[in-house]
Amino acid sequence: MKLVILERNSVGTDIDVSCFEQFGEVTYYANTTAEQVADRVQECDIIISNKAPMNEDTLASASNVKLICLLATGYDCVDLSYCKSRNIKVTNVVNYCTAAVAQHTILLALMLSEKITFYDNYVKSGAYSAQDRFSNFDRAFHDLENRAWGIIGMGTIGHKVAQLATAFGCKVFFYSASGKSTCTEYPRVDLDTLLQTCDIVSLHCPLTDKTRNLINKTAFEKMKPTAILINVARGPIVNTQDLYNALITEKIMAAGLDVLEKEPMEPSNPLSQIQDSTKLIITPHMSWASVESRTRLISEIVKNIQAFLDKTDRNIVNP
């Protein structure tokens, strides 16, 4: 069998991926652009990829491909209908980075709530050494305890965040973006109620037609001026220009992002103009990428391939 890994570096060069060689001949590419996909998958039986587009344009000449293994949970980069018409199975990996993303969510909330970057810079600038009192709390901050934390998307990661937020004493509410949640542990509210009442709003829902641009000007108008928005889901769920305007006009207090509408971040992105890290923190889509998560990801892909060869469905997203 012939396998191709289109975005080998997307899991980090510190993670061993030689385990795939047990299945056959493997061709490795550090990264692959959309324009390069069709040429690189022509001869393969199994494609292992992350964000590379998988559709008729890229797969039409790949007559041998039988399986696409995504190095991710989300599969919005794949035309599932086309793959199904070709009898190409598509698999993803679930729950491999739950702890890491939930941890990052809490980290962003704490940093923005306590304005940690301001105080770190205050000390390192020499201002603390120059003052005549032992403490400084010029930028007011508040306890997380008794704050209302709203979760949009109560899946596995959302549920883990809810548990951690509860441990800090937050009152957790959630909105089911799909409308299919069966969670009964936390109060379920409509979107307007969540936006209007919550001090922290974190996004953990998949990108769908329903969630694209969900957090826009209208949503920001409903939020508290002291609210913090955290997006560790998908960038297009939040309208970039509307978020910029909301931060500049203080419709909300702060935002923490690990995802953006276009990645990597474009120089023209208006959010790049906001240099105040007490108002905006952006990390480069790395909340999922702990060593443990990336190791688990590769292990799960191996299991997906073995299951396919054993003619057993495992993590198939286009049955």
Catalytic machinery residues: 234, 263, 285
Could you tell me if 230 and 255 are in contact, meaning their C-beta atoms sit under 8 angstroms apart?
yes
From residue 306, give the alpha-carbon distance in Å to each of 20, 67, 71, 121, 248: 10, 11, 15, 51, 51
Contacts of 110 (CB under 8 A, 6+ apart): 116, 144
Q: Would residue 212 be called left, alpha or beta, if left means φ above 0 and alpha means ψ between -120 and 50 degrees? A: beta
Could you tell me if 118 and 136 are in contact, meaning their C-beta atoms sit under 8 angstroms apart?
no
Contacts of 170 (CB under 8 A, 6+ apart): 144, 145, 146, 147, 148, 149, 200
Token digits for 71? 């190095």
Among candidate residues 95, 140, 103, 151, the one with its CA nearest the CA of residue 118: 140
Could you tell me if 6 and 29 are in contact, meaning their C-beta atoms sit under 8 angstroms apart?
yes
